[in-house]
């Protein structure tokens, strides 16, 4: 996964949508080759609990992306009254099902369910979200130079950010990277992946003092906080590279009666930051499409590993 960057009308803008489309086309070709050579079709089981509209939207997007790539997706939808045991039993069955190479539990789960216990029930070989403790530990212990070739699943969003940087020609070696956020899903694995590329990494979190002064020293900023427009242009060193993971909904005045009353923005004040940085991802159209592409990639590589063993 190291093809050159896709060009955009403005070279400062990292076009995540175009890069993700290129990767999805490569995945489609690999899926076809796998079918031809090994008669194997990658399968992704997607577990959705409850009726959260955002979760349903994400699951629909993932299901459509699977179909477009030739990956079989199997939906398991439960009422939000489902018991812990019912979910665990479903996962145990999927662990044993040879047609299933990836198991994804759409998060968050309703509060009566023990999310950690449910994620831990997934066979680590089928944990395409890379959140099982075995895969978390493997990432910490990984000694290879290129985590995109790691023989285990890495969380989709930080993996997607790394590949966005690669395909945009950003050399991370010796660079100061500041990661805002320290979640298991994004911030921590992101920091580890950057360390693996010989970057010098600082993590900023909610208790960090003077975050703007730390961000100002960064050659590369990865914002994964969930606070709309937190990172201002005057936080950035001129020429910095900015990857904005945040997805935040903010209220807007509709342009016409009945029009949209909200819009999605990142953690970075894009309109101003774009004037200062050398490269930046937009929201939407930056990191989001890469997360889905990496889910397909992780499902496919899990299938490739299962047929080669």
Among 150, 186, 201, 295, binds ligand NAP (CB under 6 A): 186
- Written as six digits, the tokens of 145 are 């130079």
Of 65-73, 108-116, 221-229, 274-282, the segment contacting ligand NAP by CB under 6 A is 221-229
- Written as six digits, the tokens of 242 are 């900015």
Nearest residue to 174 (alpha-carbon basis) of 194, 153, 156, 192: 194
Backbone angles phi, psi at 151, to 5 degrees: -85, 35
106 is catalytic: yes
Residue 183 in the binding site for ligand NAP (CB under 6 A): yes
Residue 164 in the binding site for ligand NAP (CB under 6 A): no
Closer residue to ligand NAP (CB): 288 or 304: 288
User: In whole angstroms, how far apart are CA 11 and each of 6, 106, 137, 145, 246?
Assistant: 10, 35, 37, 28, 22
Residue 298 in the binding site for ligand NAP (CB under 6 A): no
Give the chain's largest Cα–Cα span. 60
64 is catalytic: no
Among 168, 291, 298, 302, binds ligand NAP (CB under 6 A): 291
Which residue carries 């020609």 as its tokens?
A: 169
Give the Cα separation of 267 and 261 in Å (integer). 19
Give the Cα separation of 133 and 81 in Å (integer). 27
Residue 297 in the binding site for ligand NAP (CB under 6 A): no
CB of 83 to ligand NAP, least distance (A): 26
The residue annotated as part of the active site, out of 15, 126, 127, 129, is: 129
Among 245, 265, 280, 303, binds ligand NAP (CB under 6 A): 245
Residue 227 in the binding site for ligand NAP (CB under 6 A): yes
Among 104, 190, 218, 247, binds ligand NAP (CB under 6 A): 247
CB of 286 to ligand NAP, least distance (A): 7
DSSP string for 34-73: HHHHH----EEEEEEES--HHHHHHHHHHHHHHHHHT-EE
How many residues belong to the site for ligand NAP (CB under 6 A)? 26
Upstream peptide bond of 108 is cis (omega within 30 degrees of 0): yes
Closer residue to ligand NAP (CB): 40 or 224: 224
Closer residue to ligand NAP (CB): 291 or 302: 291
CB of 212 to ligand NAP, least distance (A): 10
Say if CB 256 and CB 89 are below 8 A apart. Answer: no
Say if CB 122 and CB 103 are below 8 A apart. Answer: yes
Rule CB under 6 A: which of 23-82 touch ligand NAP? none
Cα angle 179, 184, 188 (rounded to 5 degrees) comes to 30
Of 4-12, 23-31, 144-152, 175-183, the segment contacting ligand NAP by CB under 6 A is 175-183
Residues in the chain: 309
Among 6, 55, 56, 248, binds ligand NAP (CB under 6 A): 248
**Helix and strand numbers, DSSP H then E, in the chain:** 10, 10
99 is catalytic: no
Residue 224 in the binding site for ligand NAP (CB under 6 A): yes
Among 27, 180, 231, 236, binds ligand NAP (CB under 6 A): 180
Q: Which residues bind ligand NAP (CB under 6 A)?
A: 157, 180-183, 185-187, 204-208, 211, 224-227, 230, 245-248, 287-288, 291
Enumerate the active-site residues.
62, 106, 129
């Amino acid at each position: 996964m190291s093809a050159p960057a896709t060009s955009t009308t403005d070279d400062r803008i990292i076009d995540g949508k175009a890069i993700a489309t290129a990767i999805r086309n490569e995945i489609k070709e690999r899926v076809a080759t796998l079918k031809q050579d090994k008669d194997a079709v990658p399968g992704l089981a997607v577990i959705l609990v409850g009726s959260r509209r955002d979760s349903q939207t994400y699951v629909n997007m993932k299901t459509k992306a699977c179909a477009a790539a030739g990956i079989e997706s199997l939906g398991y939808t439960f009422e939000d009254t489902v018991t812990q045991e019912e979910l665990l039993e479903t996962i145990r069955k999927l662990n044993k099902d040879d047609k299933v190479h990836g198991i994804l539990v759409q998060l968050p789960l309703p509060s009566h369910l023990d999310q950690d216990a449910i994620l831990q029930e997934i066979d680590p070989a089928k944990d395409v979200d890379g959140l099982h403790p075995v895969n978390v530990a493997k990432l910490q212990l990984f000694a290879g130079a290129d985590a995109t070739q790691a023989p285990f699943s890495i969380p989709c969003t930080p993996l997607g950010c790394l590949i966005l940087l690669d395909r945009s020609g950003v050399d991370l070696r010796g660079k100061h990277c500041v990661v805002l956020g320290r979640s298991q899903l994004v911030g921590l694995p992101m920091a580890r992946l950057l360390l693996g590329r010989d970057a010098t990494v600082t993590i900023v979190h909610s208790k960090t003092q003077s975050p703007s002064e730390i961000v100002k020293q960064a050659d590369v900023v990865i914002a994964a906080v969930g606070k709309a427009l937190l990172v201002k242009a005057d936080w950035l060193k001129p020429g910095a590279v900015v990857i904005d993971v945040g997805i935040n909904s903010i209220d807007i005045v509709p342009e016409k009666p009945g029009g949209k009353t909200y819009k999605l923005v990142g953690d970075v004040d894009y309109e101003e930051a774009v004037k200062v940085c050398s490269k930046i991802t937009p929201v939407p159209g930056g990191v989001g499409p890469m997360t889905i592409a990496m889910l397909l990639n992780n499902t496919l590589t899990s299938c490739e590993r299962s047929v080669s063993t």
